[in-house]
Each structure stands twice: as C-alpha cells, then as structure tokens.
Amino acid sequence: MKLDIYELIGENCITMEDGQKIYDLIHPELLAGHPVALNFAKVGVYASPFFNAAIGQLLKDIKSEDLNRLLKVFNLVPAGLAVLKRVIENSKQYYSDENFRKAQDEVLLEQAENK
C-alpha cells in the first residue's frame, strides 16, 4: 500500500483527527504484515498530535521491529522526521512501560480537569 499524504490530508499534518485517518488506513495493512509506504511530498507543516495518532498508536499492538520493517516514510523533511522519531520513541516507552503509561495518563487527566 502506498499513500500520498498530501492528497489525503493536505500540506498541514497537524491534527489528531487527520492522523487518525491515516492510522485507520494503515493499521489493518500493517497488522496483516503488508508493507506500507507514506509519501510526504509537498507536505510542509508537521505536528506531534498528527504523528501520535497516525503512527504512535500503532505501537500499541505492533512490535517496533515489525513497524520498522513494514512502514516506510518518504519525502519527509528533517524537521518532520525529528518530530516523527520523537513520537515513536515516546510511544515505545508509553506502550512498553505500564508505570510510565499510568503516570502520563494521570498528568493528562489532571490537566484536562484544570481547564
């Protein structure tokens, strides 16, 4: 499967909602062991909420070595690549360390309640 992110989302990859659209397309393919290629040509703006939803949550039920083998990203500028790498590292820790996950969830809940 090859996806053109610009055609699906546009030049701004910012929101969780847009990331979820990508996740919904690629998750079943990756679970089935099929390779997925994401082309970020013409995309100019990246944010962690997009990558958290699109790729970070894949680590909930896909091993990181399988994700590295099956998911290929093309034409991602260095700034976008840096955001993606940070999201993947955070997601690895979040899904593999129950204590870290509980602590982070508590902080997020507290922040939401204080708004």
Give the residue among 112, 77, 45 at the shortest CA–CA distance from 18: 45
Tell me the torsion sign for CA atoms 63, 41, 46, 78.
positive
pLDDT bucket at 78, cuts 50 / 70 / 90 = very high
Band of residue 98 on the pLDDT scale cut at 50, 70, 90: confident
Query: Could you tell me how many residues make up the chain?
Result: 115
pLDDT digits (tens, 9 = 90+) for 58-70: 999 999 999 999 9
Over residues 9-38, the pLDDT tens digits come to: 999 999 999 999 999 999 999 999 999 999
Q: Structural domain boundaries of the chain?
A: 2-113
State the Cα–Cα distance between residues 92 and 105, nearest whole angstrom. Answer: 15
CA nearest 19: which of 38, 41, 32? Answer: 38
| Cβ atoms of 22 and 3 closer than 8 Å | yes
pTM here is: 0.87
